[in-house]
Amino acid sequence: MMQPNRRIFLISSALTAVGCAGRRADELRIFVYAGGHEKTMRTVFLPRFEALTGATATLHSGWWDSMAKLKSAPANNPPFDLMITDATQGYPAAREGLFAPIDLDSVPNHKSLAPASLDNWVFRDRLGLTYPDAVQTIAYHKSYSEKPPARWSDLLRTDLKGKIGLYNHFYMSLYTFACAMADQEGKQGTATAIVQERTDDLFRFAREYRNQVGLWWPNTTDMMLALADKRVLAGNMHSPEYMQALREKPELGAAVPDLDRAMVQVFWAIPAGTPRKSLAHEALNLLFSHEVQLEFARRGMATARSDTAQVMAAEDPLWKSFYPYTADQFQSLRYYPYEFYASRWDELADRWERTVLRAG
């Protein structure tokens, strides 16, 4: 996981296209996240897309550099024809007019997505197809002699003081503190309301319990290594990377409390000015097909398709323990409070840095 700061852009790498003689000349340039997402897109999506359309596709991988490239490109000549982004960067970009409206009639598979996953202004304005990508997870080492943490308030236990690992960015870990605060008060399910309506109380709470934290991890690799080495015994994580670690390291455990379950929101968007809108729509529809979503889910991702989720829940108990798959779970699906974060981003980031991350 990379630091989601809109002002900091990381170095990206380009991937070469898979060419084939005799196909039509169209080439779709797609921005994807480096690492696991890139690998999955190359393995699952590219062969199906090229077989379906006769076009080729080039994957451009990176993290937070995509918007800088989009903003600096000449008018009507974006560097990508289709791109994935998240709410921290994608919301401002959508408001700035960087994305073209999506013709939903050309993406009929959007009708199979859970309504709750699309219940936001980006989709309503037809500027992106939003869906859950990962879930906030309690990670822990099974060798710990006491009762394993199963609820967010367990991270506040005195026997875990100094042995907790939390992500160093506020968008996730401030919400983790809100979950723990709600749980401690016997008001599970109110974490979002605490973030939005009791912000001062929440920062005081986070400040009070900051000494529980022995590691403010900057990326998932650091947290997984710290857990494996028992430098920390529990903490927060996001699911796709940690799910793979659970399959490889039986000494690690996880819990995802149903109440206050928070999902990372990402979305696919079509950059304004692309001359390949029709091809981008074909790609979007394929991305949300049952076949492709099922292969994505088998590689640790969430899905907003209930039919796909039902299949995954039946075949993979670990996946089932992480992600929504029942009608009730989909109905109550919630993302991190991105709109609130966006409205006070600089203030929250500064306050988090000064009053929670810094000792003293």
pLDDT reading at 115 higher than 80? yes
What pLDDT is recorded for position 19?
36
pLDDT reading at 270 higher than 50? yes
Percent of the chain with pLDDT over 90: 81
State the average pLDDT for the chain: 91
Q: How far apart are CA 342 and CA 340, in angstroms?
A: 5
What pLDDT is recorded for position 58?
97
What pLDDT is recorded for position 9?
34
Q: What are the distances in angstroms from CA 107 to CA 24, 51, 278, 356?
A: 22, 18, 10, 44
Write the pLDDT tens digit of every residue in 273-321. Answer: 999 999 999 999 999 999 999 999 999 999 999 999 999 999 999 999 9
The pTM assigned to this predicted structure is 0.84
Ordered by where they begin, the domains of the chain are 13-133+264-331 (3.40.190.10), 135-262+338-357 (3.40.190.10)
What pLDDT is recorded for position 233?
96
Q: How far apart are CA 286 and CA 48, in angstroms?
A: 8
Write the pLDDT tens digit of every residue in 35-48. Answer: 889 999 999 999 99
What pLDDT is recorded for position 14?
32
Q: How far apart are CA 239 and CA 222, in angstroms?
A: 15
Write the pLDDT tens digit of every residue in 95-114. Answer: 999 999 999 999 999 999 99
pLDDT reading at 269 higher than 60? yes
DSSP labels, 296-350: HHHTT---SBHHHHHHHHHH-HHHHHHS--SHHHHHT--B--HHHHHHTHHHHHH
Write the pLDDT tens digit of every residue in 163-178. Answer: 999 999 999 999 999 9
